[in-house]
Amino acid sequence: MPQRSRNRRRSRHKKKSQFPSRRLTVTLVLVAVLILAAIAALYHRQPVATLATQSKHPRPQITTKQQPPPQPVIIDTTPKARFALVIDDMGYHQKVGDALLHLPLALSFAFLPHAPHTKSQLQLAKSRGRDILLHLPMEATDKKWDPGKGSLFLAMNRQKIHRTILEDLAAVPGAIGINNHMGSRFTENETAMRDFLGVLKQQRLFFLDSLTSPNSVGLKIAAELNIPTLHRNVFLDNQQDKEIIKKQLTNLIFLARKQGIAIGIAHPHQATLDALRDFLRHPDKSVVMVSISSILGDQEPIAKRNVKQ
């Protein structure tokens, strides 16, 4: 057989064997395309929420509902009622006086200028950061009452009054103000009180009128001289009975709530100490006990100036 005929037969046989292979390939490609199209259709039809739950990191849900604004923190800034309590007659009663000085209360202390324990208790008061006043003795209406050494009397002239006050202040260094010991007669006299308050103005001290007389002219003269002045509202311990003193303290607190501020005066008695210890155990949280200077205002410059003298 000629060589050319053989080649033609081989070429035909080769073409016949390649035809089925090409058709199979096209078929497989079409199947693959259909499968991919089906998967894509399923993917787009599936809900978003379902896809999110299948993910390890779910998509955050988007909502058009407005969230309520955060509530503000309300801070009670209403000022509480305040009261000050001054302990008079300091310097004579060592045991009770020391105990009162150690109480964790904002007590203020008024020292008699020439009492036997004034110096030691004065140092204790300073170390405790307490307000210090000079408890200045003055003439009483009843002659049987002796106000003690360093007293002011109506019979004194102006120079004697000035000298006595300065001597008393020297015995109580660091005093930021003065209140009267007795003085029911002296505080009723306008001339005498003008001389007395004139010295306070020079020394830049405030006056706390103990109001031992309802006819005291202290507030009136102090206002004329533009001197910082306060007055006592309640005596706590005219009767040295713990329960009575506690009732008087309740009255003082009532006045503080009614007026905003109030001032009480007490003395170094055992019954007073016991009543204040009870107050410590059961405080009235509607009021705050504060120093006398905080009632008056910022007296720090006065205190510092007197300590240096």
In this structure, are 100 and 46 located in the same domain?
A: no
The tens digit of pLDDT for each residue in 57-107 reads: 445 444 455 555 665 554 444 558 999 999 999 999 999 999 999 999 999
Verdict on whether the full-model pTM lies above 0.95: no
Q: Cα–Cα distance between 176 and 97 in angstroms, integer?
A: 20
Whether residue 140 lies inside any domain: the answer is yes
CATH number at residue 127: 3.20.20.370
pLDDT band for 38, please (50, 70, 90 cuts). low
Indicate whether 286 belongs to any domain. yes
Residue 225 in any domain: the answer is yes
Strand 234-235 vs strand 229-231: parallel, antiparallel, or unpaired?
A: unpaired
Clarify whether residues 32 and 103 are in a common domain: no
Instruction: Please report whether residue 148 resides in a domain.
Output: yes
Mean pLDDT computed over 174-192: 98
Start-to-end C-alpha separation, the chain: 147
83 neighbors 289 (Cβ within 8 angstroms): yes
Both 115 and 35 in one domain: the answer is no
pLDDT in tens, 120-179: 999 999 999 999 999 999 999 999 999 999 999 999 999 999 999 999 999 999 999 999
Domain that holds residue 116: 81-308
| Token pair of 48 as six digits | 């978003």
Give the mean pLDDT of the chain.
83
177 and 230 fall within a common domain: yes
Are residue 89 and residue 229 in the same domain, yes or no? yes
Q: Is residue 72 part of a domain?
A: no
**Domain tally for the chain?**
2
For CA atoms 141, 114, 169, 175, give the dihedral sign. negative
The answer to whether residues 23 and 126 belong to one domain is no
Kindly list the distances between the CA atom of residue 54 and the CA atoms of 44, 59, 196, in Å, as whole numbers in the listed order: 15, 10, 92
C-alpha 78/C-alpha 237 separation (Å) is 31
